[in-house]
Every structure is written in C-alpha cells, then in structure tokens.
Amino acid sequence: MANANGKAGTGVSDKVSEKANPEANEATEIAGNIIYHAKYSPHFSPLKFGPEQALYATAESLRDRLIQLWNETYLHFHKVDPKQTYYLSMEYLQGRALTNAIGNLDLKGPYADALRKLGYELEEIAEQEKDAALGNGGLGRLASCFLDSMATLNLPAWGYGLRYRHGLFKQLITKKGQEEVAEDWLEKFSPWEIVRHDVVFPVRFFGHVQINPDGSRKWVGGDVVQALAYDVPIPGFKTKNTISLRLWEAKARAVDLDLFQFNEGEYELAAQLHSRAQQICTVLYPGDATENGKFLRLKQQFFLCSASLQDIISRFNERSTGEGSRKWSEFPSKVAVQMNDTHPTLAIPELMRLLMDDNGLGWDEAWDVTSKTVAYTNHTVLPEALEKWSQSLMWKLLPRHMEIIEEIDKRFVQTIRSTRVDLEDKLSSLSILDHNPQKPVVRMANLCVVSSHTVNGVAQLHSDILKDELFADYVSIWPNKFQNKTNGITPRRWLRFCSPELSDIITKWLKTDKWITDLDLLTGLRQFADNEELQSEWASAKAANKQRLAQYIERVTGVSIDTNSLFDIQVKRIHEYKRQLMNILGVIYRFKKLKEMKPEERKKTTPRTVMIGGKAFATYTNAKRIVKLVSDVGDVVNSDPEVNEYLKVVFVPNYNVTVAEMLIPGSELSQHISTAGMEASGTSNMKFALNGCLIIGTLDGANVEIREEIGEENFFLFGATADQVPRLRKEREDGLFKPDPRFEEAKQFAKSGVFGTYDYGPLLDSLEGNTGYGRGDYFLVGYDFASYMDAQAKVDEAYKDRKRWLKMSIMSTAGSGKFSSDRTIAQYAKEIWNIAACPVP
C-alpha cells in the first residue's frame, strides 16, 4: 500500500502494523486501526493511501468506537425503558463529522499524532470530508445543534430525517449570478452512516379507503414504497452516550419491477415504481410550482412521518412484557414526538391512522394518545411559510388522512360552537380546513395547534407575536398550551472546535474548561474585559482567525483581502426580509462616497471588507438578483485602484456549515438586519456573538435577547421596532414616506450602469411605489436605511478605538451563555417532553 508520499510498500505499512482495535485511545493503536480499515474495509484499489483514502479509513476507525458507544447506549435505554423523545425534521445541517466526533470523544491529540505517523496532518484529512447535504438554513442547523445537546445531556432521544442524495444544491457564482448544481456528498458514500437492513417499513401513497363489514376503515391500493433506515451516530461531549440520527431512504422491491414489460423494451414503464421511489429522496425542497412538484413535496413529508411513526410504534411494542402487550394509554408516558415546523404535520393524522386502523383503537382513545404525544415548534410568522396544502391534492395522495383531518376539524368546530360562542365568527380563520371555493386548502399550522399538547416559539419576541397576533384566538382557548423556547447553539462546534485559540484563552482566564458544557460560566470574563493582557491575547486569536479566513477567501474567490480591515459579514439564506439588499445598497453608497473623496480623506476612513454569502432558492427571482448585484458590485469595487485599499466586497459561494466555521471566528462585525418582527429567532447571530463578533442589527428575533445579555452599549442598534412596522406600512400605502437622500443616491447609483449592463430595475422597483405586488418596499429597506447608515458610521468610529472594540468583543462572548443549545434542550426536556437524563454507566 502506498504511503502519503505515494511509495508503495514503504513508510506507512513499515512503521505501523494494522490491527483492528475499536477501543484504541493511543496514537499507535489508532494508526494501526486506520491501516486495518484501509486494508480490510477497502473502498479503493489497494495500492493507494492518498488523503481521500486516509479520510475514509480514519472515519471508519472512529466509527468503530461510535458503533460501540451507540450499542451500549441503545442497550442501556432498552433496559431502563425511559420516556424517549423523537425529533422529526425535514432538515439537518450536520456539517463535517470527523473533527466534531474526535472533539466530542476527546481524541483530537491521539488522532492527530496517529495521522502524523501515517504521513498526514489531521487538518489536511478533515478537509477531504464533504458536508452532509441534508439541510438548507437555520431550521436544519438548529436540529443538528439540538442533537449534539441531547447526546451531551445524556437524554434518551432520536432524530428522524430523510437521506437526500443531492441536498438542496451546490451554489456556483458565475457571470450570470447564482447557478445551481446537484450536491455530490453521496457520490462515493458516507463513512458515518450504518444501513439497517432489518429496519424497513412500507409507506403507501394514493389508493382508496376500504370500509369493512364491522365499520372499520382501511387504506388500500395505490403505490407502496419501502422506507429503509440509515443511522448516523451522534456522540455527546465527553460522555458515553451516543444517540442516533435515523435517515430514511425510499426504495421499491424487486417484485415491483415488471419483467414482462422490461423484456418488451418498455424500460421506463417497467421500473416506474422504482423511479418514483427514487425521486422521494433525490433533493431537499423540490420546486413546487407544478402539480408534480407539490405531490413530491407532500410525499417527502408523509414518507418521513409514516416511516418514523411506524418505527416508534415498533419500538414501543418491543417492550411488551410477558403479561401481554403494553396498554396504548401508556404510549404518551413513553413517547414524545416533536415536530420541527409544519413539515412533519402529517405525523398527527398518520399516528391516528396507525392507532385506529392498524391497532384497533377507537377515535377517542387514539385522539387522547395522539394529542398527549405530539408537540409543535413554530419557526415563522411569514404567511408563505405557514404551509397550506390543496385539499384535492391531499384527497388524491392521502385519502385516509383527509378523512381523519376532516373529523379533527369537525370536532374542533363543534367544540368551539358549544363552548366559545364568542369565537364563532372567527371559525373561518381558526378551522383547519379552509373551504374557500376558489382554493380550498388544509392549514397545517392550525392542525398542529389544535392537535398538539404544546406549541412553542423560538425567541421571546417571536413567541410573544405568536401569542398576541398569529395564534391569539387559540391562546384564549388553551392559555397553557403556548411556551417560548429561545433557540441555542452548541458551544462545542461553534467555539471550542472552530476557534481553538480563542477557546484556550477563555479556558486560561476562567481557570476551567467547564464552560464548554456550562456556558453561563463565560460571565466570568466580564471582570477581565479591560485587562490589557487579555485584550492582547484576544486580539492575536482574532488576528489568527482573520488570517485563516483571508487565505480561504483568496483560495475560493481569487480576491485578496486586507486582514487589517474591518471584516464585516452577513451570511444566511438570501431573502428579501433578511435585507441583504439594504446591506449592498449601503456598500454602494460607501463606494460612491469613497470615489468622491480626495486621497487624504480616504486615509481617514475605516477600511472594510464586506462579505455576503447564502443560497437563494432556485425559483426565488429577486433573491437571485440580489446575489447577482453583490457579485457585480464586488467585481467593480475590488478592481478599482482608488478605492480597493479601503473597501472590498466578496460574495462567498456555497455557504454551508464548514464555510461558517471559517467565517464566524474571523468576523468582527456581523449584520442581522431583518425587518423587525419577521425573523423568528436567528441562530447565526448567537454564533457570531459567542465568537466575540459585534452585531449591527434590528430589534428582531433573538437579537433582542442577545442585546439584553451582552449589554446594549455593545450592540449597534438601528431600525423600526416590530410594533411600529404595521403603521409604517400603512403610511407607505398612504404616500407619506419621505426617503433619506442617501437612500435615493444609492439607488440611482445602482441603476447608473456603473456595475454592468444587467437590468436591476425589477429588483430596485420592489423599493418603489406605495402599493402593489412586488412594490411598495414591504420590508421597509427605505425607512430603515437612514438609521442603518448612522449605525454603520458608529461602527467605523468604534473600530478606530482598538481598546474599546476589544472590550466590546470580550463582553459579547461573556454575555453569550444563555444561547447554548444545552440550555434550550434542557428546557424542552423538562417543560415539554417530560424526559430525564439516562446516562450510560
């Protein structure tokens, strides 16, 4: 076998003898286990041991340990039989697993030494790993942080998702702007997943409802595909507990291939069920502009819910005692199902169907079990994101579920009519089924609220908006159903592992590393915020992170950036409410002013590198125009010899977890500038604040709580507040808006052709006029622009005072303790799921 230098038969195999050793802790043993896997778990021809081969062999050596810990955890849970939580999410944004697993198992040193014995650096091998493409944005990354915290807190919990082969998409930035190509993370294979050939469940689509002679109902006919389980082990930090993210793959059976048709040359027809099954897990969020696209999205959602619930019920029944089957009334005391947003809403009618049709329960008993088992997390107040499915589509695809949803709705309406006459005129908006003759739909959020025992928002402001506005009438019916659970992030991935220099400094000054699992200890940094020695160490750690980031930016974009400039970063999904457009208009204004200055005036300005990144949904035209505008502005600014010493603009392509782990530690200013009341929480704001990055932002989502925790003097605030927004929109409609001259100047300059020939008219027109579809500046970019530019001027001044800036940075980290996902998950466990820690002894 060739070593790192490519010399077959020398080096690697001479220095290290291969030996299977799942429990290896010491470098030589680990190296032996890696070589064992390179030889005996081969995926490549035997004469190679390049970086890619080293990655897979290293991952498999680590997977040995994870499987052992997972087996111990699973057996322990089986023996103790605690209540368990099952977390259903359409997305998980896992990122790379190698460095995270090594870090959580506290094996970074031994693995680094082992790989050196084999001629490699750990960092080089980690770079070979592709991000798991199972998510898109904050929703998926939150789910992944939650899994890390569940494992770390020793909670009996599982994640359920889908095994998307091609993710959302890989983003390329070309002269045309954003282009999408399929993700290739499974082009070879993932070394982390373990296929469970014994865990397979049938999932039906279409068909009809058969009424039996005894009056019972059964869903029959249609297409039946198979859900096959793949487990990804999730290790906790410095604990034996290792839980599972179970991902479902859709398959058809061999008997579903029509050999007669195939041999007649009708290949597509013969394999149509195989083809339809394969489509289910091809991509995340397939376009739904067509009826086929809508069917596919709904299939994905139901496939996740049905497979997961069949698995949960099977696990519940496994525990039946010698005295016979478990009572179904015990189900809610053993099972908690959490729906992450409305995508898994079909878990409600599917659990009802499984209980009634497959297990013989009556309606009342099935409803009692279901409504005590499921809980719902709301993640948005945006109308387009509150899912509504066409009733006719649902009747075709899921006829039995529509019967059940109709019955839930009928009983809910009857209850309101008999107990809350005052709400009768509100029933048209409270009911689950909207019978608007033009477009009859099923309102998924309403179904979740009516059926769940608990509904939670994800930041205090967001939960208040849910209770006071979106779900106010439901609150009057069920005042105790609604809670807040402010989101959090795992401090392991988002500080300890991605910024080791800063972590070591924190540990040194706090005289403990316990902050990694007790983030509130960070408040101990406050007493040292003015200490010159700490400030000096802090500055050098930030400088190292900036240097790493600058090298990365040059490698992927070709743009060379000045590490002495202020690194100003906005990375998140591209969406008009997140207002990347305001950011780039501010940059355009800054560029224009720099061009107008004399050279000696420019020297007095604060040099700035503005980085913007994020994916625009493939069919979201205005979001894609924003990407194009940022890219075009960067091309002009970065090649302007008068200005590029003082301003650079970079669009960072293909934003994902790994890119975030580079950007966030190197950032000094981060923009979280959504229209107030529109961002449910945000979690990247927490990651930036934890890493000592200062925030310029509105009072939206978790920004409100971050500002409270770190101190308002350490937060650059601007913009309208959530309660002002409706009035400001009304004033705009009435023609009362008076734009700031800087706003008009920036727009005119953007339209002037200085940034190329692309027509930005349709994008900038969204900021014009007072009313109308796609006009009237719904997201208040114009109104907030003046205070935004004033806040940016304050940033420029603050950055010139290095001592003040460093103190603010330290205070930002020191105030971030509340935003640990450990705190969030501990609250879910106690206040929603009613589960307790179950540590493996």
C-alpha closest to that of 654 among 693, 619, 613: 613
Interacting residues of 113 by C-beta distance below 8 A, sequence separation 6+: 27, 30
Q: Which residues are catalytic?
A: 379, 572-573, 578, 683, 687
Is 25 within 8 Å of 2 (Cβ atoms)?
A: no
Interacting residues of 498 by C-beta distance below 8 A, sequence separation 6+: 661, 662, 664, 665, 691
Is the torsion defined by CA of 775, 776, 779, 783 positive or negative? positive
Is 535 within 8 Å of 502 (Cβ atoms)?
A: no
d(CA 189, CA 183): 13
Please list the alpha-helical segments (H only) found in 271-322: 272-280, 291-318
> Would you call 503 exposed, middle or buried from its count of C-beta atoms within 10 A (0-12, 13-18, 19+)?
buried
d(CA 668, CA 682): 18
Count of alpha carbons within 13 angstroms of residue 306, beta-carbon side: 24
Crossing angle for the helix pair 291-318 and 272-280, to the nearest 10 degrees: 80
Amino acid at 672: H
- CA gyration radius, the chain: 28
Q: Which segments within 33-106 are labelled E, that is strand?
A: 84-88
d(CA 272, CA 206): 15
Is 445 within 8 Å of 364 (Cβ atoms)?
A: no
- Residue 643 structure tokens: 């200005």
**434 by DSSP, 3-state: which?**
strand
Is 366 within 8 Å of 373 (Cβ atoms)?
A: no
Q: How many CB atoms lie within 10 A of CB 427?
A: 14
Interacting residues of 723 by C-beta distance below 8 A, sequence separation 6+: 677
Q: How many CB atoms lie within 10 A of CB 278?
A: 16
Give the Å distances, CA to CA, from 1 to 4, 10, 31, 47, 611.
Answer: 10, 8, 14, 4, 44
Q: How many CB atoms lie within 10 A of CB 523?
A: 16
d(CA 384, CA 727): 21
Q: DSSP label at 616?
A: P
Q: DSSP label at 603?
A: T
C-alpha closest to that of 90 among 168, 180, 200: 168
Amino acid at 334: K
Is 654 within 8 Å of 171 (Cβ atoms)?
A: yes
C-alpha closest to that of 534 among 511, 556, 566: 511
DSSP H or E segment with residue 376? strand 374-377
> Would you call 731 exposed, middle or buried from its count of C-beta atoms within 10 A (0-12, 13-18, 19+)?
middle
